[in-house]
Amino acid sequence: MFRLRLSMVLLALAVTAGACAQNAPRLSGSAVIAELHDVRSKLEAREQAHPDKSLEATVQHLSQWQDALAKNLGNDAAQPVELMGDARRAQAMRAHAAVLRTQAYLGSCTHCLDGDAATMAQALALTVERLAEARDAPSAAPPVIEAVETPDRRAIFAIHGGEAERHLVLVGKNLADAQCADPKVIATDADDKPLALQPTLVSAQPTRIELVLPGGDGIAPGSYVLHVKAQRKAFLVGCVAQPEAVGVVQMASPPHFAVTYTLDARCSSGQGGASVRSGSLPVLTAFGATQVAQVEPDACATPNGFALSAQVTYADGSHQQIGPISQPADTTITAGLPGGLSLQWNPAVRQLVLRSAANACDGFY
């Protein structure tokens, strides 16, 4: 009896899942045009709030693509994408991929330094540009990369260089055919020049390709373009080459936080006035790291208080500063710096402690 009931429950779940799948809306040309309009408006609003030439170029590409797709589809815009003719289908699929990548950018470019946000915007701009440039009209639905992710499904647009290798996932459609050889993945720069260090293919499925990117300093900062060249099984003629799909991430310099400080010990009258100590902390070159410096600023036996100022310089050369922050002589001073840094002065042990938290910019790996 228990087995019978269990079988009935499983059957009901299967029927429900099948019904949900059947009721899922099919992507139409009209839906893609509406997506382009919506995401272009949101990206334009971000560009106005945070001016960036790469974002401006992407807004223009999305606007032009929306107009071109509406013109090409005409009265057939309501037709499902998979039922369209060759050129229209490819154009709509790539436009949808551009929408998904832009949506991911808008959702992941948060808590980022200005330099990191600009790097992500470059990756988005080149992605949309490459998708819009494709002009082929394959007889079958083309391979399309809709996302570049970490193994835990976090969308990324840039990678901080370093010694560790990175696992990368390309998500999309028609990326591989089980009846044919695995796709080839070639990494180039923005000018399509093959790079010395190439990714290693781990696995390939129609909707997912897993890669390992080499570690070390052999990949210079700049665009890292992944060209996926797949095959598909065709009737009577065997496996045939497909148009390439392209994914883009930016390679950025490894983390680099250089902090200089000024510590002012305020003495009571008759004890010599004030003592100022300035210096530099050891450079942090990783997230989640700590550096400690011993500082002896006293010019008097019993200072009334301390004032701390600091400036941090980042890998891209930009810098931010804080202070002076004042506290009584027996009170710890803790200051936050952009980029997830914290600087603490502990008067009891005469130490400055610099800490970097995990990378808070979601679009970075």
Encode pLDDT of 264-301 as tens digits. Answer: 888 776 555 566 788 999 998 888 899 999 988 666 77
| Three state DSSP letters for 343-355 | EEEECCCCEEEEE
Is the pLDDT at 197 greater than 90? The verdict is: no
H/E run at residue 251: strand 245-252
Q: What is the C-alpha to C-alpha distance for residues 306 and 327, in angstroms, rounded to an integer? A: 6
Is the pLDDT at 330 greater than 60? The verdict is: yes
Classified as helix, coil or strand, 297 is coil
What sign has the CA pseudo-torsion 30, 21, 174, 362? positive
Confidence band of 9 (pLDDT split at 50, 70, 90): very low
Residue 249 · residue 224 · CB < 8 Å: yes
Q: What is the C-alpha to C-alpha distance for residues 141 and 162, in angstroms, rounded to an integer? A: 38
Give me the chain's average pLDDT, please.
88
For the entire predicted model, the pTM comes to 0.85
Helical packing angle, 29-49 and 53-73, nearest 10°: 160
Residue 327 · residue 309 · CB < 8 Å: no
Give 345: exposed, middle or buried? Use CB within 10 Å, 0-12, 13-18, 19+: buried
pLDDT (0 to 100) of residue 299:
66
Classified as helix, coil or strand, 133 is helix
Encode pLDDT of 65-108 as tens digits. Answer: 999 999 999 989 999 998 888 899 999 999 999 999 999 999 99
Is the pLDDT at 2 greater than 70? The verdict is: no
